[in-house]
Amino acid sequence: MKQFNYPTTIYFGEGALAAGAEQIARFGIKKPLLVTDETLAQIGLVETVVTELKGAGVAPVVFDRVHPNPTDEDVEQGTRCYRENGCDGLVALGGGSPMDAAKVIGIMAQHSDPLSQYDDAKGGDQKIEGQKLPRIIAIPTTAGTGSEAGRCGVIIMRDTGVKTIFFHPRLMPSLAILDPELTRDLPPGITAATGIDAFTHCLEAYFAPGFDPMADGVALEGMNLVVEYLPLAVKNGDDLDVRAKMLIAATMGATAFQKGLGMIHSLAHPLSSECGLHHGLANALMLPAAVGFIEGAELTAEQRTRLKKTVAIFDARWLPGEDLSSVCRSFFESLGIHFGLHHHGVEQGQLASLAGKAFADVCHQTNMIPVTEADLLAVYRSAF
């Protein structure tokens, strides 16, 4: 028996923010905690959303202290803010970090137990089962993580320094508001990195073993959208149609990866927690080397077919005839990605430790092929 979860309502396109604010009011939410970060407050996006919410009769309390890689301290501060202000819902505004933080604040909003007990790797999802959780609404300002349709939050725990997954289907936002106007001002570098994150979600979901044809179909079309529209978004961020296509591709990536992720994410996570790399950039730097490792393994005919179908997405518009690792590298380079971990502050002496943390990460458990810690170290060295 398998369980499939696709319940998030999506408001998509220009005007989605205004319509979403009205829907939040219809949910009966009067005072949500608006979880975001200082950068979005500084550039005025928080004010834009607050004004729209107030116009619909919703009075948000702003918590803008989420770090680029959210920590358990962010969750603790946000939970206090939620309780002290008598909030009755959560609105996450931003990229994956505010959305991850909001979901985990939702777990803790009415509970005083230690956060660590909800760690998914320790069976924490069973402790969430049956608990009363506040309604979560997600408003992405980047087109990458797709967390607006995801079932988990990823938080760095201060006692371990490890990115820890908190998971339950009830952490899926009730409503995702995808308004391209909110992504218009993303700079080209962040546009590229977040878009590659969306591509990686789709690719790893499609490669993950197991039977989930709905996820496979969503993943293939998500990759197709990224390959077609990400170069245009990087070139001209004012094109709202292109921005909208990237937003839905990101949402599709997270919808698909309920099937699973893979070694690329396991390799990327320590690069963020230990070396401070943007998550999308970390995925970009590791994807060609990881895919090359997979291509060199003994694969079944069905696995080879999946590789060929993914290459075919590029064939119509990119570099026909190349293997997948090479074509992805060329595609990413055209978007401004500069390969070589050593160019991004990673030291060779860190690689063994990073491999250990990558192997402890659960994402590789649904990789197309099983991997060892030595395999992960070899891929780091290849990408160095």
Per-residue pLDDT of the chain (384 residues; tens, 9 = 90+): 666 666 788 999 999 999 999 999 999 999 999 999 999 999 999 999 999 999 999 999 999 999 988 999 999 999 999 999 999 999 999 998 999 999 999 999 877 778 888 887 788 778 777 778 899 999 999 999 999 998 889 898 888 877 888 888 888 999 999 999 999 989 999 999 999 999 999 999 999 999 999 999 999 999 999 999 999 999 999 999 999 999 999 999 999 998 999 999 999 999 998 999 999 999 999 999 999 999 999 999 999 999 999 999 987 666 656 899 999 999 999 999 999 999 999 999 999 999 999 999 989 999 999 999 999 999 999 999
With CA atoms as reference, report the closest residue to 203 among 247, 246, 265, 149. 265
For the chain, the domain total comes to: 2
**Inter-axis angle of helices 72-84 and 96-108, to 10 degrees?**
60
Residues 283 and 216 in one domain: yes
Q: At which of 154, 182, 210 does a domain end?
A: 182
Q: At which of 117, 152, 182 does a domain end?
A: 182
Residues 207 and 329 in one domain: yes
- What CATH number is associated with residue 153? 3.40.50.1970
Supply the DSSP string of 19-65, one letter for each residue. Answer: HHHHHHHHTT-SS-EEE--HHHHHTTHHHHHHHHHHHTT--PEEE--
374 within a domain of the structure (yes/no) = yes
DSSP conformation class of 95:
S
1 within a domain of the structure (yes/no) = no
Are the C-beta atoms of 204 and 310 separated by less than 8 Å? Answer: no
DSSP conformation class of 71:
B
Are the C-beta atoms of 331 and 318 separated by less than 8 Å? Answer: yes
Residues 160 and 37 in one domain: yes
Where helices occur in 236-300 by DSSP H, the ranges are: 240-256, 263-273, 279-295
Instruction: Report the alpha-carbon distance of residue 67 to residue 44 in Å, rounded.
Output: 18
Q: At which of 182, 202, 228 does a domain end?
A: 182
Residues 257 and 163 in one domain: no
